[in-house]
Amino acid sequence: MVIAGLLLVALGVAVDARIRAVESRWGGPLQKVAVAAVDLKVGDDPHRVRFVRLPPSAVPPGAVGVPPDGAVLSLPLTRGSVLTSKHLDARGPAVGLPRTMRAVPVPTEAGWDVRQGGWVDVWTLGSGDEPAQLVAAQRPVLQVRSDATGLTSLIGLKTDEVEAVSAGLALGRVMLAHAPAPTTDSMPAAGPG
């Protein structure tokens, strides 16, 4: 019995020494971090995560242990990627827009197949003899959401385009048309503007 007790103590000391050696090699004890359970898009709820323990050397700066309530993703996160503070911003999909642009929700017909990451032209439709008018050309689709009322696309518009689109929305006369991506020299500059 004494020998068995001594063997258990020796085994415990050996395991502890091994754990300390591994921790020393990898930078310390394992840290709990949140990783995406599925591919997540901009604007998604960041609580669709699972928790794993990683060695400190594998944990990116700003890793989040538990996503804060009310947070939304401002950057996409692929399944298995570590959630960081850079992925979270209260502005959600609008975080990547330059200061000269705004994110505006526009009702969208499901049959048009408007998709996040695509580009659209925004038209206001005339009434009576008034012709349709192109209000915004080659604007980014930041997000597409579906709910009980239908499909809504979040479109990046220049600040001087918002009024005309809002007026068209109030009348229920706005249409999105697929557009090619703008060339690099015609795109609005990102970041502070």
Asked if residue 158 has pLDDT above 90, the reply is yes
Asked if residue 9 has pLDDT above 80, the reply is no
Would you list the domain boundaries of the chain? 29-90, 97-186
Mean confidence (pLDDT) of the chain: 82
Asked if residue 75 has pLDDT above 80, the reply is no
| CATH classification (class only), 29-90 | alpha beta
Asked if residue 186 has pLDDT above 70, the reply is no
pLDDT on residue 191: 44
pLDDT on residue 11: 67
Q: What is the pLDDT of residues 84-142, one digit of tens each?
A: 888 887 777 777 788 899 989 999 988 888 988 899 999 998 777 788 899 999 999 98
Residue whose C-alpha is closest to residue 188's, from 60, 125, 102: 102
Q: How far apart are the first and last CA of the chain?
A: 77
27 falls in which pLDDT band (50, 70, 90)?
A: low
User: Strand 101-108 to strand 150-158: parallel, antiparallel, or no bridges (unpaired)?
Assistant: antiparallel
4 falls in which pLDDT band (50, 70, 90)?
A: low
pTM over 0.75: no
Sign of torsion, CA 164 169 173 175? Answer: positive
pLDDT on residue 193: 40
